Chains A and B, each alone.
Chain A
Amino acid sequence: MRVLVVEDHATLAGQLRAALEEAHFVVDTAPDGEEALFLGETEPYDAVVLDLGLPRLDGLSVLRRWRSTGRAMPVLILTARDAWTEKVAGLNAGADDYLTKPFIMPELVARIQALVRRSHGQARPEISLGRLMVDTTGGRALLDGMPVKLTGLEYRMLAYLAHRAGQVVSKTELTEHLYAQDFDRDSNTLEVVVGRLRRKLGDGVIETLRGQGYRLIVPGA
């Protein structure tokens, strides 16, 4: 899951990145409105944390331009402006959630997770698929109730596939959602990771569709 953090305060941006990465998100940051606008229009983010008071282009304008060009990713506004007029303006401009500073980090992470789940049509934080259960809040996977040891990249791939369970996910899409913008991408790595996941979770969980991509099988579907 890739998240764009738009925040001009460098220390806070660093704290947000650290907290979100710990929750298994891949994080890009943008220090100003123009870069945020560009990244949001070109990269497929699963969620955005957007500050309103930004240099060069304010957050509300960025949001409006994303929405007017059809970018529908969930956006959480994180701002010190806590007047209801501003809250109403932000939400009615197309934001999905609104959090005011000062805030506590676990709440922000939980809200981002909820936004991502909701945008994929998952209501609950635990995604159950037969013997497999992906706990998106805890960032872990359980097989028959027992925790499975996964690397960061393995969990990210499994979580992404679980959010899209039953649907075919192309390699390009996976790459786009599993790596940060400036990461050197290599699709061969994906095959290796899928192989390792299959070994840990057993057969009949991840299906390969040649030339199309991968699919997490929903039992009974």
Chain B
Amino acid sequence: MRSLTLRLTLLTGLWVATGLGGAGWFVADIATRQIEAAFDARIGTVLDTVIAAATQGTDGRIRVAPLPAGTDFERPFSGAYWQVTRADGSVTTSRSLWDQTLPAGRTGHVGVLLRDIPGPRGSELRVAERDVVLLDASEPAHFSVALSTDAQRAEVDRLRRILIGVFALLGLGLVAGVAIQVVVGLAPLRVARRTLAEVRAGTRDRLGLAAPAEIAPLVAEVDALIEQNRATVERARAHVGNLAHALKTPIAVLRNALGVTPPDIGSARAEAASLERLVQHHLARARVTALTTATGMPEVSPLAVTEEVAAALRRLFTARDLTITVTGDARVRLRTDAQDLTEMLGNLMENACQWATAQVSVTVTGTADSVVIRVEDDGPGLPAGAEGSALARGGRLDEAAPGSGLGLAIVADLVALQGGDLALSRATTGGLRADLRLPRRGAG
């Protein structure tokens, strides 16, 4: 079920049908009971009236005086009948019973007995009967009064029909109400979708909608994403601009050096080398763009990444008798791009391997708000006060000697973009100690 409107409407329909069905059945049941109770009360009254009007003659016959209007005992098969059965079995009936009699009731009990029986001409009857000892009589007589239930049943049926009609109307109204509510309620989403389409088509800059509280965060996030994309494009454009600018000078020099006779091989070679370094530097920076723009970074284990880099370096430096040890807490996690972490560690650790005499050690430690990776070698270390120039980056790269410090400059660049820092100091073994501090972002 892809449509929210359809889904909500169907769910509501199901619920309303169950609820109203149950309520309807309950109401109908109560009403039916009431109608039946009223009927039973009436038939009891009629029975009392008939008994009150009955007298036993001296001949032992029972007579019932004509009853007041309201109950038609005179017209044949009117639907109202009485019958008196004496102990000796003689039966007196109302005129309405004509030539028929009511089935014999149960005698010898106290009080009124009610039961349903089939009456003459296919009608349904309800009978009230009791034993009564009449004045001047020695034996009890059995009095039965029967009334047709046709009218009562018709009333119950009518009540049921009305209830079903009213409840069905109510149910339909409720479902339609929910459907309208959903359609109206989701209107802001449709507006947001339309506006987003406009953004994509380029006729709008951003959503900028006054959305209701529920979807306002969504709108804000989309706007933030759009903003981030725009910033990425801007940065890329600026980057390309910088790169073009940086490359053009060496290219011009290279061309001039090759344009003279004889070609100035020395200058050409120097410019080619500078071009190479520029390309390398800018490529490394470009890789990080992914990191600063990507949302929702996965968690990586810095120790695992360090182990991988160490394994690769051990192969690379097989010829040298070098021991690379990696220690640290395997449970430390960092929300970052594994590729960028590998890039930084690769440069740092390769640098350490190149300068080390016999030993490189890497330690991974985690604190509450950052992860520190310490890389130490037992090489000559940096001359005092040279820490700053080792990390010099950017514009003056072209004047750096090949292979000197470029790796560290890239690491410093990358870690700065992550909001961390790289600190250089002297290791206890006398070599270089590099502390790479990376901030934890979000839940670490």
Contacts and interface: CB of A to CB of B under 8 A. Distances in A.
Contacts of A83: 287, 339, 342-343
B309 A84 contact: yes
B258 interface: no
A147 to B, nearest CB: 27
B315 A95 contact: yes
Contacts, number: 44
A129 interface: no
Given A92-B308, A102-B276, A84 B315 contact: no
Interface string A120-134: 000100000000000
B316 A91 contact: yes
A85 interface: yes
B3 interface: no
A91 B346 CA distance: 12
A85 B342 contact: yes
A97 B280 contact: no
Contacts of A87: 312, 346
A96 interface: yes
A193 to B, nearest CB: 31
A114 B342 contact: no
Nearest to B310: A88
Nearest to A111: B319
B316 A98 contact: yes
A191 interface: no
B338 interface: yes
A85 B315 contact: no
Nearest to B350: A84
Contacts of B318: 96, 118
A91 B339 contact: no
A92 B309 CA distance: 9
Contact of A97 (B309, B316, B346): B316
A88 to B, nearest CB: 4
A95 B316 CA distance: 9
A68 B339 CA distance: 26
Given A92-B308, A92-B311, A84 B346 contact: yes
B316 A84 contact: no
A82 interface: yes
Contacts of B347: 84
Given A91-B311, A92-B312, A85 B338 contact: yes
Contacts of B280: 82
B283 interface: yes
B319 A88 contact: no
A180 to B, nearest CB: 28
A84 B287 CA distance: 11
A91 B338 CA distance: 17
Interface string A190-217: 0000000000000000000000000000
B308 A88 contact: yes
Contacts of A97: 316
Of listed B309, B312, B347, residue having the most chain A CB within 10 A: B312
A219 to B, nearest CB: 26
B312 A91 contact: yes
Contact of A91 (B276, B315, B343): B315
Nearest to B345: A84
A87 B343 CA distance: 10
A82 B283 contact: yes
The 8 A-B residue pairs with the shortest CB-CB distance in the complex, in nearest-first order: A84-B346, A91-B312, A88-B312, A84-B343, A91-B315, A84-B342, A85-B342, A85-B339
Given A84-B346, A88-B312, A98-B316, 9 more contacts: A82-B280, A82-B283, A83-B339, A84-B309, A88-B311, A91-B313, A92-B312, A96-B318, A118-B318
